[in-house]
Structure 1
Amino acid sequence: MFKVQNLLIIWLWLCTKLFTNAFKFNEILSSKMVEFQWPDMETRARAEMNGLYIPGHNVPLGLDRWNDKLFITVPRWKNGGASSLNYVDLKRIGENKSLPLIPYPNWDANTLPTDDNINPSKIINTFRVKVDECDRLWIMDAGKTDVFSEKPALFLPPGIVIYDLKTDQFIRRHHFDEKDVKDESFFTNIVIDTDKDNCDQAFAYITDPNAQGLMVYSYAADDSWRVEHHFFHFDPLNGDFNVGGVNFQWSDGVFGLALSPKNADGYRTIYFHPTASTKEFTVSTEVLQNKTAALSEEKYYQFKFIGERGMNTHSSTSVMDPYSGVIFYSQIQRDGIACWNTKRPLNPESFHLIIHNPQTMVFANEVKIDQDNNIWMMSNRMPQFLYKQLNFDDINFRIFMSPVNDILTDSPCV
């Protein structure tokens, strides 16, 4: 009886701790349905009448912040996606948490082309974006829309689009080489490795979870190459998911990427994991940035398995706090965020769920740390959207924010 009481006390303490941390996480934005800031209501009505805007087909996915702009991506999962890359003005956030999304850099860039003469600055379909230290926005553009239909509409080859955030001007577009794009390729996550003192020496790492690969892009060389490894593949024993009352099976490979600060050799360690997996791996960016080495068979042993996170710890995105060495993980099956201190071995005992809310954080799919060391998270009920139907009488999409130090205070990860 004594042991049972002790376990109950510990369980109650853990629940209190998780919800206490959840309360530290401020709900910045929330909405029942995605709405955009249209030029006027006539334009909105015309778009809806012509099937160019179907409100229930717009679900947000990725985010990142630069100054007063909070970027929010709305992938064109189905037809009727009005604008794929958007932002909200953080200065306008107050009691009203349901602000309309403003297309970035404008409506024209996000309007699908009607002929073959496509401006390279167009944004066809983006899932995630990343702001770098040089005030640039890197956009992974899938180049095709209606991705859940039998015949997606292909407008451009997949690749990277880059904008200057200080001027909102287009910098360049890079298409991936045809040989690096597989039939099942679906490029999603993107992280940037750069230095504000040497902006041209930047690299982007882009995941291809459907085809189990990683793309590397050199800004200086304007060149990209595909890297493949066994560790990029999904774990067949960890492909069953239960989220918000929805059961489904995924076979997503490498997805989460977290970059360390520079090591003594001038390179970073990249921590990565497949979504359909509970294992974590690393590789030095020195291997990825050397095109010859990255494509050679000798690279195999440069990739390291570093540990197991534990049951139901599936994660989409992850991000490292450069000051503490703690990595934060979205926890898509546990409705929250977990953390692990990279100074410790990775195992179920060192991997901690620190924020959890089964009502407001269903499918916590995106986690980022901004230039002011605030952590951001988005939950969006994606499984309900994909496999059932969202109830638009409820709040479906939420964005939370908190200073990293507040989240780490009294955390088991410090």
Structure 2
Amino acid sequence: MRRYVSFLTVCGAFAISSAIAPLEELFSWNQIDYTWPSLEQRQDAISKGTFAPENNLPLGLEKWNDKLFVTVPRWKSGVGSSLNYISLKQPIDKSSFLIPYPSWEANTIPSNKTDLKPDHIISTFRIKSDVCDRLWVMDTGVDDILGSYNVVASPAIVIFDLKTDTLIKRYELKKDDAKDSSFFANIVVDVDKDNCNDAYAYIPDLGGYGIVIYSLASDDSWRVEHNFFHFDPLQGDLTVGGVNFHWTDGVFGIALSNKLENGHRTAFFHSLASTKEFGVCTSILKNKTAATTPGNYYAFKVLGDKGDDSQTSASDFDPNSEVLFFTQLQKDGVACWNTKKVLAPENVALVAEDGERLVFTNDIKLARDEPYLYILSDRMPEFLYGKLDQSKINYRIFRLNVNEAIKGTPCAG
């Protein structure tokens, strides 16, 4: 306990119970489809194999104003468009087609690298909008990941102006930012509205066990490595939706606390194949010299353990309640933890659970303009290791009122 309090002082104050809140199902699909320019173009894509509906799995989401962004990584060949959105303007169709963003052209794989344009999105897993109305996209640059593994472009951060739907910048990661085993499936943005140029992106490398930091102001990136970024060898055996699999995914989810008195935040992070949560002050990450100095090993702290079978993909921090929400892959749900309390199983609450509709809660995002948590479930283990039944609903997006969700749980007050 003494060590935990000491960490909070450095960077600001900061058996699972259950209080399941009602889920509002917004969208559901047997298969994903898109708003094609024409029916003829869709049929032509199917005949050529550039669109195979059964190979399109939604994975990441983000909400900005009346747009709900949905990513479709190119796990397999035949993905129509990787970066998309759904309009939330009324009326809403539960089986809405995805609209490519910023355009169809930007989501079309170029025939060769010389045809690659700065706004091209080859394959993205997760995205993040910031308080300056920008969308940050981590483009892996790889098509047909599970098949031919076609490297179309270098891994890159692609930033769009959401008000004009135009490209702001494309930044290719440097060679020393990555390893042969690197896989970049997430991006988190640290910025204040009164200084939009002084923005930082934190990109976890789940395969290479590191975090890449990008500074918009200096247009530079650097890589941080630490033991806490590795997977727990005792927590890589998972069973979800009746599918047993073994993963070695390292650092995966990052969520940022409110701004602290010293002007920085706490970065909460975890590996997917782990049940523990860690933290570090962002002053360490944002300082290139400090971040890459081995002497800063002890600046990274163990915050606690979420409990048995609590492996987590995505997490997000609610600035109003200071509650951290995180997916619960083996429990078909979402849980919460009040960051002002010690992280232990008795302080973790399951706030959403459904053995049919929440199989593999792949991503969650808190809305900035309303008290809702958006949740995407997609049965991904069945997609990766088996075959989804295309006659059934496989993919769903929900929203959950965060205030109602934490009421009566250890996450409240």
Give the TM-score category using the shorter length: over 0.9
* Unaligned segments of structure 2, at least 5 residues: 1-14
User: In the alignment, which residue of structure 1 is the partner of 2:195?
Assistant: 198
Residues of 2 paired with 1:90 and 1:361: CA distance?
Answer: 22
Q: Within 5 Å, which residues of 2 pair with 1:112-261? A: 112-117=109-114, 118-149=116-147, 151-261=148-258
Deviation at 1:409, TM superposition (A): 2.6
Please, which of 399, 402, 405 is the counterpart of residue 400 of structure 2? 402
Residues of 2 paired with 1:92 and 1:244: CA distance?
Answer: 33
User: In the alignment, which residue of structure 1 is the partner of 2:304?
Assistant: 307
Deviation at 1:384, TM superposition (A): 0.4
Residues of 2 paired with 1:238 and 1:92: CA distance?
Answer: 43
Equivalent position SS for 2:211: strand
Equivalent position SS for 1:122: coil
User: In the alignment, which residue of structure 1 is the partner of 2:9?
Assistant: none
User: In the alignment, which residue of structure 2 is the partner of 1:3?
Assistant: none
Moved over 3 A (4+): none
TM-score of the two chains, using structure 2 as the length reference: 0.94
Equivalent position SS for 2:346: coil
User: In the alignment, which residue of structure 1 is the partner of 2:321?
Assistant: 324
Give per-residue Cα distances to partners, 1:302-357, cap 9 Å, x unaligned: 00011111100000010111111110011111001000011111111111112100
RMSD: 1.2
Q: Within 5 Å, which residues of 2 pair with 1:293-304? A: 293-304=290-301
TM-score of the two chains, using structure 1 as the length reference: 0.94
Determine if contact 1:331/1:365 at 8 Å carries over to the other structure. Answer: no
Equivalent position SS for 2:352: strand
Determine if contact 2:55/2:75 at 8 Å carries over to the other structure. Answer: yes
Residues of 2 paired with 1:332 and 1:147: CA distance?
Answer: 22
User: In the alignment, which residue of structure 2 is the partner of 1:5?
Assistant: none
User: In the alignment, which residue of structure 2 is the partner of 1:47?
Assistant: 45
**Which region of structure 1 is more displaced relative to structure 2, 396-405 or 161-170?**
396-405
Give per-residue Cα distances to partners, 1:264-304, cap 9 Å, x unaligned: 10000000000000011000000000001101111101000
Residues of 1 paired with 2:173 and 2:315: CA distance?
Answer: 24
Residues of 1 paired with 2:186 and 2:91: CA distance?
Answer: 27
Determine if contact 2:136/2:160 at 8 Å carries over to the other structure. Answer: yes
Residues of 2 paired with 1:370 and 1:32: CA distance?
Answer: 26
Please, which of 357, 362, 366 is the counterpart of residue 360 of structure 1? 357
Determine if contact 1:279/1:309 at 8 Å carries over to the other structure. Answer: yes
Determine if contact 1:376/1:400 at 8 Å carries over to the other structure. Answer: yes
Please, which of 273, 280, 287 is the counterpart of residue 290 of structure 1? 287
**Which region of structure 1 is more displaced relative to structure 2, 27-36 or 85-94?**
85-94
Residues of 2 paired with 1:181 and 1:287: CA distance?
Answer: 20
Amino acid at match of 1:287: I
Residues of 2 paired with 1:344 and 1:115: CA distance?
Answer: 53
Deviation at 1:402, TM superposition (A): 2.6
Residues of 1 paired with 2:248 and 2:300: CA distance?
Answer: 21
User: In the alignment, which residue of structure 2 is the partner of 1:343?
Assistant: 340
Determine if contact 1:163/1:172 at 8 Å carries over to the other structure. Answer: yes
Residues of 2 paired with 1:62 and 1:315: CA distance?
Answer: 14
Give per-residue Cα distances to partners, 1:361-389, cap 9 Å, x unaligned: 00011111111232111000000000110
Residues of 2 paired with 1:411 and 1:398: CA distance?
Answer: 26
Amino acid at match of 2:210: G
**Which region of structure 1 is more displaced relative to structure 2, 325-334 or 113-122?**
113-122
Equivalent position SS for 1:91: coil
Determine if contact 2:113/2:153 at 8 Å carries over to the other structure. Answer: no
User: In the alignment, which residue of structure 1 is the partner of 2:70?
Assistant: 72
Please, which of 277, 285, 309 is the counterpart of residue 274 of structure 2? 277
User: In the alignment, which residue of structure 1 is the partner of 2:105?
Assistant: 108
Deviation at 1:61, TM superposition (A): 0.2
Amino acid at match of 1:334: K
Give per-residue Cα distances to partners, 1:124-179, cap 9 Å, x unaligned: 11000000000000000001111112x41112110100000000000110011112
Give per-residue Cα distances to partners, 1:227-261, cap 9 Å, x unaligned: 10000000000000000000000000000111001
* Unaligned segments of structure 1, at least 5 residues: 1-10
User: In the alignment, which residue of structure 2 is the partner of 1:8?
Assistant: none
Residues of 2 paired with 1:374 and 1:92: CA distance?
Answer: 18
Residues of 2 paired with 1:410 and 1:284: CA distance?
Answer: 30
Deviation at 1:406, TM superposition (A): 2.4
Residues of 2 paired with 1:173 and 1:296: CA distance?
Answer: 28
Equivalent position SS for 1:127: strand
Determine if contact 1:320/1:328 at 8 Å carries over to the other structure. Answer: yes
Deviation at 1:93, TM superposition (A): 4.5
Number of matched pairs: 395
User: In the alignment, which residue of structure 2 is the partner of 1:98?
Assistant: 95
Give per-residue Cα distances to partners, 1:187-231, cap 9 Å, x unaligned: 011110011110000000011101111110001011111110000
Please, which of 56, 59, 75 is the counterpart of residue 58 of structure 1? 56
